[in-house]
């Protein structure tokens, strides 16, 4: 009997797009380029992206991850702000200390920051849809004075939130939320506050929307189990698992890499979906495929719902050639 004949057949539906988005790719390239040009150490405030594999790889190459600027010595080394963005107070402190900073904030997060500032300048109180304590939420709230933003985490909170009286209202959101959940929260807020202003386009980023749509597509193709490659503290990865189950998958499991997966979880399944959060590299997806192949005779098919060709530029200090920088 051949090896393939000894293994049960399994249809593996690869969601596409999946994995790294343009903002994550840019953030990782910023740290890599800083290490290449300036050597180690390069300090990074907070994890550059929410993925242990990526962080450990950069740490091995000389990146030093810290939570606050007071952990960084005044030694002239580069300091990178993570893709999630930082509060204005952090930027001000870095400027006061004359730190050499490189801002890896995702441009789509920066867009949310600017929207919040514009609403505030027009006298509006901001209702921010997001998760308390998430670095992106902390950074967005930190763009405005204390009390200028009220966080709304759920439909239940939307039904009871009490913003300051007498002020016009606007909403904005964390970029990595569930598209469907956010729409429900916005609808609940709009029903209570008819004059509620919002962004010209939803703040949930294109990559989050595309990955959630791709998960729904693989479930629609018959995947009753969906495997999500991503960190348990990655908002967009956790949302993918939730979306899969709400779309009708019998079960969704979140793993950080192939070694974390018990392939027996797919026993009895005719089709399994596989995706990855926006901060998970494709190499980890391939690890999961290899892990499943130890137990199943896989028939792999990609289910694509969108093409992504967006690329974000590096900061000016890194986009110039090293020679040009030295000549300045």
Sign of CA dihedral 134, 250, 51, 60: positive
Half-sphere exposure of 173 (CA within 13 A, CB side): 27
pLDDT of residue 5: 59
Residue 151 lies in a domain: yes
Whether 101 and 159 share a structural domain: no
On average, the pLDDT of the chain sits at: 94
pLDDT of residue 200: 77
- Residue-wise pLDDT for 73-104, tens only, equals 999 999 999 999 999 999 999 999 999 999 99
Whether 114 and 77 share a structural domain: no
Domain count, the chain: 3
Residue 222 has pLDDT above 90, yes or no: yes
Whether 17 and 32 share a structural domain: no
Residue 184 has pLDDT above 50, yes or no: yes
Q: Which of 192, 224, 252 is the last residue of a domain?
A: 192
Domain that holds residue 163: 108-192
Find the CATH number of the domain harbouring 320: 3.40.50.11270
Residue 71 lies in a domain: yes
Pairing of strands 271-276, 225-229: parallel
Residue 198 lies in a domain: no
pLDDT of residue 322: 54
Whether 122 and 85 share a structural domain: no
- Residue-wise pLDDT for 305-314, tens only, equals 999 999 999 9
Residue 201 lies in a domain: no
Distance (Å, whole) CA 132 – CA 116: 17
Residue 174 lies in a domain: yes
- What tokens were used for 289? 């495929």
Catalytic center residues:
136
Whether 30 and 94 share a structural domain: yes
Residue 199 lies in a domain: no
pLDDT of residue 197: 97
3-state helix, strand, coil in the chain (%, to 5): 45, 20, 40
pLDDT of residue 203: 81
DSSP-derived secondary structure letter, 320: S
Give the mean pLDDT of 1-28. 88
Whether 300 and 210 share a structural domain: yes
- What tokens were used for 108? 């789509």
Of 34-38, 54-58, 283-287, 317-321, the range with the lowest mean pLDDT is 317-321
- What tokens were used for 188? 């609940």
Whether 113 and 182 share a structural domain: yes
DSSP string over 191-260: HH-TT-B--SS-SS-HHHHHHHHHHHHHHHTT-SEEEEES-TT-HHHHHHHHHHHHTT-SEEEEESSGGG
Residue 1 lies in a domain: no
Whether 264 and 238 share a structural domain: yes
Whether 94 and 115 share a structural domain: no
Percent of the chain with pLDDT over 70: 96
pLDDT of residue 1: 40
Residue 126 lies in a domain: yes
pLDDT of residue 321: 58
Q: Which residues pair with 129 in a beta bridge?
A: 152, 173
Whether 219 and 282 share a structural domain: yes
Sole residue written with tokens 């907070």: 46
- What tokens were used for 322? 């090293």
pLDDT of residue 326: 39
Residue 2 has pLDDT above 60, yes or no: no
190 vs 325, higher pLDDT: 190
Residue 319 has pLDDT above 70, yes or no: yes
Give the mean pLDDT of 56-72. 97
pLDDT of residue 277: 97
- Residue-wise pLDDT for 97-134, tens only, equals 999 999 999 999 999 999 999 999 999 999 999 999 99
Whether 210 and 297 share a structural domain: yes
- Residue-wise pLDDT for 120-173, tens only, equals 999 999 999 999 999 999 999 999 999 999 999 999 999 999 999 999 999 999
Find the CATH number of the domain harbouring 184: 3.40.1010.20
Q: Residue 179: enclosing H or E segment and its boundaries?
A: helix 179-192
Measure the N-to-C terminal CA separation of the chain; round to a whole number of Å. 70
Whether 120 and 181 share a structural domain: yes
- What tokens were used for 137? 């939420």
Pick from 89, 158, 160, 172: nearest CA to 125 = 172
Percent of the chain with pLDDT over 90: 93
């Amino acid at each position: 009997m051949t090896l393939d004949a000894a293994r049960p057949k399994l249809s593996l539906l690869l969601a596409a797009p999946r994995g790294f988005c343009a903002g994550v790719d840019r953030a990782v390239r910023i740290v890599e380029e800083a290490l290449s040009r300036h050597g180690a150490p390069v300090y990074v405030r907070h994890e550059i992206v929410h993925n242990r594999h990526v962080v450990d790889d950069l740490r091995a190459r000389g990146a030093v991850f810290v939570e606050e600027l007071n952990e960084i010595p005044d030694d002239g080394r580069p300091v990178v702000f993570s893709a999630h963005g930082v509060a204005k107070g952090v930027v001000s402190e870095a400027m006061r200390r004359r730190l050499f900073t490189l801002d890896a904030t995702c441009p789509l997060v920066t867009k949310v920051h600017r929207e919040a500032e514009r609403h505030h300048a027009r006298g509006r109180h901001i209702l921010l849809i997001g998760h308390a304590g998430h670095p992106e939420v902390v950074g967005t709230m930190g763009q405005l004075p204390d009390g200028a933003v009220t966080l709304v985490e759920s439909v239940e909170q939307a039904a009871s939130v009490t913003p300051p009286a007498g002020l016009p209202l606007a909403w904005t959101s964390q970029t990595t939320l569930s598209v469907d959940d956010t729409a429900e929260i916005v609808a609940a807020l709009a029903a209570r506050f008819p004059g509620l202003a919002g962004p010209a386009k939803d703040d949930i980023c294109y990559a989050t929307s595309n990955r959630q749509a791709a998960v729904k597509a693989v479930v629609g193709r018959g995947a009753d189990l969906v495997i999500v490659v991503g960190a348990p503290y990655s908002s967009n990865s956790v949302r993918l698992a939730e979306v899969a189950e709400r779309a009708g998958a019998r079960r969704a499991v979140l793993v950080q890499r192939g070694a974390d997966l018990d392939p027996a979880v797919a026993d009895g399944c005719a089709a399994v979906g596989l995706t990855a959060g926006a901060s998970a590299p494709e190499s980890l997806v391939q690890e999961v495929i290899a892990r499943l192949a130890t137990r199943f005779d896989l028939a792999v098919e990609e289910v694509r719902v969108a093409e992504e060709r967006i690329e974000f530029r590096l900061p000016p200090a890194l986009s110039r050639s090293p020679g040009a920088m030295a000549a300045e």
